[in-house]
Every structure is written in C-alpha cells, then in structure tokens.
Structure 1
C-alpha cells in the first residue's frame, strides 16, 4: 500500500472518528440525563423527596431526583459527561500542538490551556462525586462537591476564554475562532451570575427559585460543552501541520 493511499485512508477514517465526538456525545448524554430526571419527576406526579426542604419546597433540585431510584442514571450520565468534557479540552490542546487547528502562538496561551484542562478535571471529578454522594444521604459532602464542580467549570471556562482571547488577537481573520470565543465568554458571564444567584438562594432557603436556577445552569452547561465543536470540527478534515504556517495578525501590543 502506498503512502498516499495510506494517508487517504487515515483521513477517511478521521472523518468518522474525531475529537469532535467527545463534546457531541457529552452534550447529548448530559441533556438526556437531565431530561430523564425531569420527565420522570413530572410523570411521577412531581413527588416530594426526603431530601427536599419540608418548609415549602415543591420544585425538586436535579440532585433531589438523582438521589432517589434514578441515582444510577445520574451517576452514569455525570461520569460520561465529565470524561467527555475533559477529553474535549485535551483534544483542543493536542490538535493545536499538532497544527491541525489554529495553534497557540505564545507560552501564556499554552499555560491558559493547561489551566482550563485542570479546571475541567476538577469540575468533572466534582460532578461525579456529587452524584455518588447524593444529597439525601451525604448532605455536607454533596454540597462540597457541588461547589467543586461549579468552581472547576468556571475556572476552566475562564482559562479557555482568556486563551481564545489572546489567540484571536493573532488570528483575527478566523471567524469561527471569534464566534467560539464570544460564545464561551457569554457562557462564563451568565454561568457565573447564575452560580452566585444559586448560592444566595440556597443560603436564604429560597429552594423553589434555587431549583429553577439549578436546572437552567444544567441546561446551559450542555450548550457550553457543545460549543467545543466549533473548535474541533475543522480537525476532521485537516492534517498535521496544516495550520502551522497560517499568517498571523500583528497584535496591538507586544505581550499577546
């Protein structure tokens, strides 16, 4: 078999098996998990769970439903989503290093990329553990791991936004990169605001409003994970080093 034929075969396989699978699978699994929990709770007649506040809470948190007989679904969905989240960021880092998508142009960008991966790993571990240590049997641990999940995701999102902002300054002709950056920035700002609101509502025992905010946060996370398709899809048809020699836009300052 010739080298050309072999490379063509690899590119053909890559069109079906690529890094963009991870954000796609992760987002599908996560939204399916949320819908499974929500639809089950509604179809069961919106029951009151033992983990719910007896002083007026009527809307279940995601974790309230996930602590009951659907706990295996919650753990499985959280685990798959967490792994796909981390692999999406690892994929972006690897593909930039290989020149199959627009590469990083400074050490600062690489450091920010690593920070985003570490944040995702912390958040992913937090998500898995909050599902395992459910809110009915392990209230304190569950809340600790919920904070770990939120903190890890926000750190990861901030690292990604800063990396893309600095990268976009060198690739201003890349419309996809610009859209991806602004999409992730919007997510970070909205999620940060909702996370703070969620914490305040829980502290003040406004559980119905807090539950609604938590469901919104969960659904928005689906969109954030899916946004990595903007970054990873081009690699399905690219080859190693293709973007290494892309002409850079001179930055407005010397530190970019």
Structure 2
C-alpha cells in the first residue's frame, strides 16, 4: 500500500495538470520569439499585409501571415489547448478536493464561465492564425477581437471566483497572490486592448504593433500564473480539502 501511495505521489509530481500552463507558456513565447527573431534577422522586411501606410514595425500577424504561417498556427493551437486545459484542470481538481474547494454555487458558475471564455478566446486565437491578415483581413480582425474578448471574460471570471474563494480561505497565500496577479493582468490587458483598438482605428500602426507585441508577451505571464493554482495538487490526494468546504472567512470583508 505504501509503495502504491508513493508511486501515485511521484506520478502527480511529474505528470500533472500544472504541465499545461507550463507547456502553453513555453510554446507561446517560443512562437513569438520565433516570429520576432526571424523578422529581425531578415532585416525587418516590409510585408505585403502591412499596406501603404508607412508602417515599419510588423504586427505579430504580419509575420505570421508569411512563410512562418505554419509556425503561427501550430503555436497558437497548442497554446489554446493548454490554456483551456489549465482552467479545466483547476475546476476538476477543486471538484475532486485536491485544491481548495469552491464554497458556493456562484463560485462554480464563475469557474465555468471562465472556462467558456477561455474556449471562446482559444477558438479566436486559432482562427486568427488560420485566416491570416494578408488574405482574410476582415475575418482576421474579427477573430482577433474574439480572442481578446474571450480572454478578458475568462480572466474576469477567474478573478471574481478567486476573490469569493479567498474570503473562505484567507490563510492561503498562494490563492491571494494568484488572485491579485490575475487581477493585474486583467486591468493591464483591458487598458492595452482598448489602446490597441484606438490606435488601429486611427491607423497608428507602428504604435499599434508595439502594443500588440506587449499584449502577446503578457499572455505568457497569464498562462504561467496558473502554476500557482495547480502546483499544490502535486502533493494532495482526492478529498483532502473537502472538509474545508464550509470554513467561514476568518475576517469578513466590510
């Protein structure tokens, strides 16, 4: 029995849900760096999709619409799957009692809402890579908006879920750090997304391209933040936190 328990513990440590945000963030930053380094190495070339507007800084999608399109599609697809599975993993592990459990139906609804937002955003990311900006400009922009809106919905749902969850588990520092990290991401991404839209509308493409690259890099950090949520499950067992489900907050918010 001890051997089985030890083997299970080792398996949870090395084959666990926390690998999804890790793999997703590595693949995504690798994709961005592959696109950026290639563009710089080629001497910052002008792409057909950049148009006659005097744009000199390429958008992520400008580079991803050229010969590196297979890399862009592959990276976007893997990242999307890992993003959704990271959220689903947190929901499943809370349900199984291997993470701090949800304490109300509202928290569960917010969790499911964040997963739905992630699915919407992930579909948008895959489709914006497939329908590139050079050949399908309008569709590409629609799916870019879908991606941004989906991620924002997902982030907001997660933040609200964690805020309500933290009220019942005030001693969990990891949960508090994760909540504020995701809240900071939501605020910054929302501000940058609005800025990006305004810059696009006024055809300030060089500034818009810079904002887009920043948004892309920030998404890597957001994915990594789910490690804070999922790592504790490597040392827990099913039902371990079930008895904490009805624990009241130590100090209720005023």
Coarse TM-score class (shorter-chain normalised): over 0.9
Matching residue of 1:116: 114
| Cα distance in 1 for residues equivalent to 2:158 and 2:23 | 20
For the residue of structure 1 that corresponds to 2:237, the secondary structure is coil
The residue aligned with 1:26 is 24
Query: CA–CA distance in 1 between the matches of 2:165 and 2:253?
Result: 13
**Which residue in 1 is equivalent to 2:140?**
142
SS at match of 1:178: helix
Report what 1:245 is aligned to: 243
1:122 touches 1:149 (CA, 8 Å); kept in 2? Answer: yes
Offset of 1:53 from its aligned partner? 2.7
Structure 1 unaligned residues grouped into runs of 5+:
none
Q: What is the TM-score normalised by the length of structure 1?
A: 0.96
CA distance in 2, matches of 1:243, 1:23: 23
**What residue is the counterpart of 1:56 in the other structure?**
54
Find runs of 4+ consecutive structure 1 residues off by over 4 angstroms.
Answer: none
Is contact 1:100–1:242 with CA below 8 Å preserved after alignment?
A: yes
Q: Tell whether the 8 Å contact from 1:85 to 1:225 is kept in structure 2 after alignment.
A: yes
Is the Cα–Cα contact under 8 Å of residues 66 and 131 in structure 1 kept in the other structure?
yes
Structure 1 position 6, deviation (Å): 2.1
| SS of residue in 2 equivalent to 1:240 | coil
Deviation at 1:251?
Answer: 6.5
1:66-85 residue pairs with structure 2 within 5 A?
66-85=64-83
- The 8 Å contact of residues 114 and 156 in structure 2, kept in 1 or not, is answered as yes
For residue 31 of structure 1, give the secondary structure of its aligned residue in structure 2.
helix
8 Å Cα contact 1:170/1:248 also seen in 2: yes
Mean Cα displacement is larger for which, 50-59 or 123-132? 50-59
Q: Distance in 1 between matches of 2:64 and 2:85?
A: 25
Distance 1:183 1:160 in 2: 11
Whole-angstrom distance in 1 between the partners of 2:173 and 2:248: 14
Distance 1:4 1:89 in 2: 32
Superposed CA deviations along residues 12-49 of structure 1, whole A, max 9, x for unmatched, are: 11111000000000000000000000000000000000
Identify the residue that residue 207 of structure 1 maps to in structure 2: 205
Q: Is 1:53–1:207's contact at 8 Å kept on the other side of the alignment?
A: no
**CA-CA distance at 1:116 after TM superposition:** 0.2
* Number of residues of Structure 1 aligned to a counterpart in Structure 2: 252
Cα pair 1:103 1:243 within 8 Å, conserved: yes
1:224 aligned partner: 222
Residue in 2 that maps onto 1:36: 34
C-alpha offsets along residues 124-183 of structure 1, whole Å, 9 cap, x if unaligned? 000000000000000010001000000000000000000000001111111100000000
In structure 1, what is the Cα distance between the partners aligned to 2:224 and 2:248? Answer: 27
